Amino acid sequence: MTILPDPAASQALLIGVHGYESLPALPAVERNLAGLTRAFTDRDLWGLPPSHCTALSQPSSAQDVLDTLNRVALRATDTLVVYYAGHGLIDPYSEELYLALPGSDQERLYSALPFDWVRRAVLDPRIGARHKVVILDCCYSGRALVGGMSGSPQAQVADHALIDGTSLMAASAKTRKALSPPGEEYTAFTGELITALTEGITDGPPLLDMQTLYRHLYTALAAKARPLPQQRNRNTGGLIALARNLAHPDNRPQPPSEPSPPPAPPVPAPNSPPAPEPASAPDTRAVPEPVPEPVPEPEPAPVPEPAPEPQQPAAEPASEPQGPASEPAPSPDHTPDAPVRTRVIAVVSAALLVAGVSTTVALLNGSQSGSDGKAEGSVTKAAYNAAVGHVLKQGGRKGGTLKFGSADDADSWDPQRTYSPHVANFARYYTRQLVTYDPKAKGAELTPDLATTRAKVTDHHRTYTYTLRKGLTWEDGSPLTSEDIKYGIERLWARGVITGGPSYLRQALDPDGTYRGPYKDTSAKGLSAITTPDPQTIVFKLPRPDSDFEQMLAMVAASPVKKSEDTKAEYGLRPFSSGPYKFRSYEPGKSLELVRNSRWKPSSDPIREARPDRITVSVDHRDAVDTRLLKGDFDLALSTTGLGPQARARALADSELHKNLDTPRSGLVRYAGFPQSVKPMENEHCRKAVVYAADHRSLQTALGGTLAGGDLAPNLLPPGIRGADPAFDPYGVLKNGGRPNVTQARKELEECGRPAGFSTKIAVGNDRPTEVNAAESLRSALAKIGVEAKVEQFDGARSPDIAGAPSEVKKRGYGIVLASWKADFPSGRNFWQWLVDSRQRPAWGNSNVAEIDSPALDTLLYKAAVEPDPGKAAEAGEEITHRVADGAYYLPFVYEKYVSWRGPRLTDVHVSDAYGGYDYVQLGVDGA
């Protein structure tokens, strides 16, 4: 039962740091404290006595915070609320969260306050409060829900079981920054919290408890494309109330002569999923409660789009992504709208957060499958790597529940907004595309899905025409038409609302950016580059040829959306299904359930087997997900990162667990780039000296070894992409077993005029310990030829404006920058364009780390882009590989692999080159 805590027996401590000696100022934080103080002490809301609400602004030290916290906490016997707003810092080695103080900076973490100390102080057994609430408004605050590597789950605030209830709410995920929008009175998260407390929540319960507040804040912030909050409650923690709901009829001011009405029973929290309906019900659609129409906001993420004003993250002055993300390089025509990767993979080490990770096509498992990329038949018994190059337990029965575990919620379930490869893979359960990847374990080969055939290509490869299959339906039984496909794609232009996601189709169809999107352009014509002559036909007219266009249409961003069911920014809370499954319930940050879509016709879908009856996703912290995977609670992890170190070690050591492991390639390559603006890296022979001197075996070990690190990379282009040649070994990496060639390295030093060696710096992000280890390995190897390389760690969260800023790289003298890269689809042009194109070198967010300016390479990229013959386009990509190797612009380390667990109940399991992991829509389960 939810009751309002006794104000006389409760205490609140509000901690805020708005001014810093070394970090950007956060003026809104000071206003946060004032706003929350007014809300908590307002008698109409909670009514804390002013002496029970302590605001600690600009604390002088960690001791100042802890002494005040101890003093306040000991006075609370009902409820204790602890709030912090300011910069959040992460220890790159332990991954623990630190709360920044006025004199803190990333290089001196000892000057900040470890959150674990706050955690321990709150859980001090001397504190008599029955309820405890911790609210964090800082970057990476979701880390508090996980605990650092040194913290156990038993020590976590929300897991403490000796009191009635605990609740911990964080402003952002563990890998994401919080946001302080310029021009707004409060920070993004706290502003929404104050508004909810002071104005109430329409259709909410009489009391605003922590669970109600969380659901409301999640929806409100999602609608504005702002960082999403996280929450964990234990025991009755979700029922701890912080205020009366002024929007509820019971709490509205009454005339003095009228008696107050009796308390009404609680009603469901707004935006919470309704109770699940029976699977047999004709329509189980769980529509969230409506919220006010969102005002288009500039995305706090990587898309460099027009916006009223930039938004400032609470930890950095640069604009902030929703998740580790970054702004991409401009398009070949210098338009500021190149494809955006919103998951950080591209900045592993040196951190080019610049253009992050790929989306649907993770590609490459190369030599792990047959020579033609096909699976080599079915395997009936579980064994190590049985699903790599084979289909394990093919032909499984229908029925049962497929259970996924996930360490994070989706970036968005909206097909036009997601850019996470595993989410895009999963979204195929409820979305379809004109074309997709062949499910028969072939390497990333396109095949028709909604369309009857691949495109009919005319007009010098600028017009693509598709005819739709018969019998295509939506989950309500209405026909799916070509207009629905056009509308779904048009949503990509509504950039103030449909944020995140890739921008390839915008660039291919409307490079000048003249179309305004379907929410602003309500004309019947819509996007002129797409026409629909009839409900069964759709035609795309490109202004110029693009050999990758069908690959773009295979992305879930090209999924149809029914206009009458489009809830705009809220669509990701309940997408309307065109696939074999539909949403039954979704609780953001906690769980998702899909059930069969009875209106889907198997005869219309040659791709999806639809074996399970139900599909569930449960969100928990990573260690818990790994533990439950090995225990059998989950069948598969919804990710492409594999098991964590502890679970991996356990599974590899246990013969029963070991047989359920696979080690696929992710499609990512790790490497170092040599910025040519930093002397002596403008000299080809100096670069070659570094390449020859590198100890590739040592680098591989530093990155995780042969299983969790990857295969030695003799060249930069990963296997599985057209034009890749894993045997091309220009520097003898494979021939020498990964060992350095010191003799040849010394010869190259002679050629570059530095026979005694030279000095340089190796740049690596401080948030990736394995990459730091790799940098140290490279430093040690270079010392043997007289090259003195100093490893310099920089703030990994600021990669775009440090490692991704050529002027900053030159200023700091970074001659070697560690990074990684992954293509969005399997074409050499898509892989290479961001790494070698001379036109792709922006002042911020640059991924052409080597600062290559080669007319010959630019010409080859153009040739690959306009070449209609895939074989000839691949030849252009292969030539680029050779020219890049000849110039020694990059030093490849490994083609990344990861250790993945598949549950023993799974059937029809295989690793797909198209997704860099298991093909989810083929999976079945044995058992309920």
Q: How confident is the model at residue 839 (pLDDT cuts 50, 70, 90)?
A: confident
State how far the Cα of 417 lies from the Cα of 556, in Å rounded to an integer: 9
Q: How confident is the model at residue 407 (pLDDT cuts 50, 70, 90)?
A: very high
**Residue 297 reports pLDDT greater than 50:** no
Q: What does the pLDDT read at residue 378?
A: 80
Read off the tokens for 34: 């004032």
Q: How confident is the model at residue 255 (pLDDT cuts 50, 70, 90)?
A: very low
Read off the tokens for 894: 């490994």
Which of 746 and 156 is assigned the larger pLDDT? 746
**Residue 295 reports pLDDT greater than 80:** no
The third-level CATH classification (topology) of the domain covering 665-823+832-852+888-897 is Dipeptide-binding Protein; domain 3 (3.10.105)
**Residue 310 reports pLDDT greater than 80:** no
Q: How confident is the model at residue 928 (pLDDT cuts 50, 70, 90)?
A: low
Start-to-end CA distance of the chain, whole Å, equals 34
Q: What does the pLDDT read at residue 879?
A: 94
Average pLDDT in the 877-906 region?
Answer: 96
Average pLDDT in the 124-132 region?
Answer: 90
Q: Highest mean pLDDT: which of 360-364, 581-585, 835-839?
A: 581-585
State how far the Cα of 54 lies from the Cα of 38, in Å rounded to an integer: 12
DSSP 260-280: PPPPPPP-PPTTPPPPPPPTT
Q: What does the pLDDT read at residue 376?
A: 55
Q: How confident is the model at residue 844 (pLDDT cuts 50, 70, 90)?
A: confident
The DSSP call for residue 393 is T
Q: What does the pLDDT read at residue 291?
A: 33
**Residue 307 reports pLDDT greater than 80:** no
CB 758 within 8 A of CB 682: no
Is residue 712 within a helix (H) or strand (E), and if so which, with residue range? strand 710-712
Q: Which of 185-199, 335-349, 472-486 has the lowest mean pLDDT?
A: 335-349
Q: What does the pLDDT read at residue 323?
A: 34
Q: Which of 213-222, 299-308, 462-471, 797-806 has the lowest mean pLDDT?
A: 299-308
Average pLDDT in the 150-165 region?
Answer: 45
**Residue 374 reports pLDDT greater than 50:** no
* Look-up of token digits 């002042």: 843
Q: What does the pLDDT read at residue 296?
A: 32
Average pLDDT in the 205-223 region?
Answer: 91
Q: What rounded mean pLDDT belongs to the chain?
A: 84
Q: What does the pLDDT read at residue 784?
A: 97
Q: What does the pLDDT read at residue 305?
A: 31
Helix (H, G, I), strand (E, B) or coil at 151: coil
Q: What does the pLDDT read at residue 599?
A: 98
Class of domain 7-251: alpha beta
**Residue 274 reports pLDDT greater than 80:** no
DSSP 466-508: EEBPTT-B-TTSPBP-HHHHHHHHHGGG-TTTS-SS--HHHHH
Share of the chain above pLDDT 90, in %: 65
pTM comes to 0.65
**Residue 355 reports pLDDT greater than 50:** no
Which of 224 and 660 is assigned the larger pLDDT? 660
Q: How confident is the model at residue 690 (pLDDT cuts 50, 70, 90)?
A: very high
Task: Please choose, from the candidates 285, 283, 288, the residue with its C-alpha nearest in 3D space to the C-alpha of residue 273.
Answer: 288
Q: What does the pLDDT read at residue 248?
A: 87
Q: How confident is the model at residue 105 (pLDDT cuts 50, 70, 90)?
A: confident
Contacts with 908 (C-beta within 8 Å, 6 or more apart), sequence order: 391, 392, 393, 394, 395, 396, 609, 611, 922, 923, 924
Average pLDDT in the 593-599 region?
Answer: 98
Domain boundaries, the chain: 7-251, 665-823+832-852+888-897
Q: Which of 302-316, 510-524, 863-877 has the lowest mean pLDDT?
A: 302-316
Q: What does the pLDDT read at residue 797?
A: 80
**Residue 753 reports pLDDT greater than 70:** yes
State how far the Cα of 707 lies from the Cα of 643, in Å rounded to an integer: 11
pLDDT tens profile 413-466: 999 999 999 999 999 999 999 999 998 756 678 999 999 999 999 998 999 999
Length of the chain: 928
**Residue 157 reports pLDDT greater than 60:** no
> Hey, CA dihedral for 530, 532, 533, 539, is it positive or negative?
positive
